[in-house]
Amino acid sequence: MSERLRIVLGVLLLLVGLFYPRLKGPTVPDRFERPEDYIVSLVERLPEISDPVDANMLAATFAAMSEGVLVTDLKTNLQVQYFLDKIGKTVMGNALVSESGEKKYPTFSPVAAKLIEETIGPQTETDPLTVEEVQNLSKLFYGFAWKLYDKSEDSVYEEYFSKADKAIAEYNNKDDNPEPVVITDCICEGKGYVIHGDGHKTDCPCIESGENCNHNPKCGSKGEAPLPAPVVEERPEPTTKQPQRRGIFGWRMR
């Protein structure tokens, strides 16, 4: 190799060393430390989310809920489901539903629900949640976020974490003495249960919202017999009426 060729190659390597980082774009630091080994073994069972934008929407929402469950008054497993549904609808809407109306990732929710059940017990469990169970649920959601996060779409993560954080703050600032609300468009459609896109059923969670329901059977009930419509106590119209949130969406436990 001639001396001139060595010099040219040396200059080229120097230029590559100087400018390659800029060509790659800004470096995004890792947001998550590796969870505990038992959490890693659980979340490795999650199906892959092929679109990094969708993956980061979910990662951000679960990361915010990982913090949110520690500051939200969740007494039962069914209340956890209602919390997930409420935050999921507010943050994600129909983002994970295709134009044809089908779920983009139909196996994700059942697997996630199974992992939640293994962490805090079945949805039908009536014993109050323990402090340890809530802490383990927080760790599980952190593991979901760690598994799903894609560094290439970090701006999406930031956007949806902010949305989820705001939704959780609003969820926790409910009026202590809210106006009674009669649900007229409950997702359960008067059946007392919900049939999900993959065909499995869950008890309707509306009853855990603290809202009234005029469907027969009453939303949240397991019986097939019609129940009488609730009696709503009339109250004087307030001068400033706060908008009421309603509607259920999101990840369903089994």
Residue ranges of the domains in the chain?
Answer: 50-171
> What mean pLDDT comes out for the span 170-194?
63
Model confidence at 25, pLDDT cuts 50, 70, 90, reads very low
Higher pLDDT, 107 or 197: 107
Closest C-alpha among 106, 85, 92 to residue 186 = 85
> What mean pLDDT comes out for the span 144-163?
95
Amino acid 167: pLDDT: 95
Closest C-alpha among 121, 102, 105, 103 to residue 113 = 121
Closest C-alpha among 60, 70, 55 to residue 32 = 60
Is the backbone peptide bond immediately before 110 cis, with ω within 30 degrees of 0?
A: no
| Amino acid identity at 11 | V
Model confidence at 20, pLDDT cuts 50, 70, 90, reads very low
Amino acid 177: pLDDT: 55
Model confidence at 173, pLDDT cuts 50, 70, 90, reads confident
Helix, strand and coil in the chain, % to nearest 5: 45, 5, 50
Model confidence at 186, pLDDT cuts 50, 70, 90, reads low
Q: Angle, to 10 degrees, between the axis of helix 131-148 and the axis of helix 52-68?
A: 160
pLDDT tens per residue, range 216-252: 555 545 444 444 444 555 555 555 444 444 333 344 4
For tokens 């129909």, what's the residue?
A: 94
> Among the listed ranges 70-74, 136-140, 178-182, which one has the minimum average pLDDT value?
178-182
Question: Please, what is the Cα angle at 51 between 57 and 66, to 5 degrees?
Answer: 30
Q: CA 122 → CA 30, 43, 76, 150, 168, distances in Å?
A: 34, 18, 10, 31, 23
> What secondary structure, in 3-state letters, does 61-119 show?
HHHHHHHHCCCCCCCCHHHHHHHHHHHHHHHHCCCCECCCCCECCCCHHHHHHHHHHHH
- 193 forms beta bridges with 203
Query: Percent of the chain at pLDDT above 90?
Result: 47
Q: CA 67 → CA 61, 62, 161, 173, distances in Å?
A: 10, 9, 11, 16
How many residues in total does the chain contain?
Answer: 254
> What mean pLDDT comes out for the span 23-45?
78
Burial of 26 (C-beta count, 10 Å sphere; 0-12/13-18/19+): exposed
Model confidence at 19, pLDDT cuts 50, 70, 90, reads low
